[in-house]
Structure 1
Amino acid sequence: MITAAEARELAGPTAEEYLKEIEVFIREAATKKQRSVVIRKNPYAGWLYDEKDASVEAKLVIKQLRDAGYSVSLHYVELQFVDMGLKISW
């Protein structure tokens, strides 16, 4: 019988895969001399909307980003439509 951790890894994506994709967003924004980026792409956009319901991988990614010195918060603006995303500042 495989463990739950092994099943999660097989099901993917892993925290490392998420971090690789997030790094692309951060590098792109940093090269444009920006101090933050808002990732509106799913699944990232909803990770902090209800953090207690986030996946194990999402919680791990958020912790690793914060441990690396990034400020991670929910970008949420409600007008005619909701503008929501994962805001990462440095």
Structure 2
Amino acid sequence: MTRILFFGRLRDVAGYSERDLEIPDTVATVTDLRALLSADDPELGDAIAARGVRVAVNQSFCLNELASVRDAREIAFMSPLSGG
């Protein structure tokens, strides 16, 4: 099982801050995971595909969408931060 976390606005769109998910073997990258989550909830899919959303796998930020999610214990989606 992999713990999927949502922060900020993404938590509001998802309706929860975390969930445990059995990631299928066909899901290998961040792109694949976004597609899987989008198929389950299109509104969440749009939100996590938005510009500026950052993804961390096992508490390390991913530098690209092809980052591996295989054997991940935790994957976090973070909405863009605004400063002021």
The alignment's TM-score, normalised by the length of structure 1, stands at: 0.29
Task: Give the TM-score, by structure 2 length.
Answer: 0.31
For the pair shown, the structure with the greater C-alpha radius of gyration is: 1
Structure that is richer in helix per residue: 1
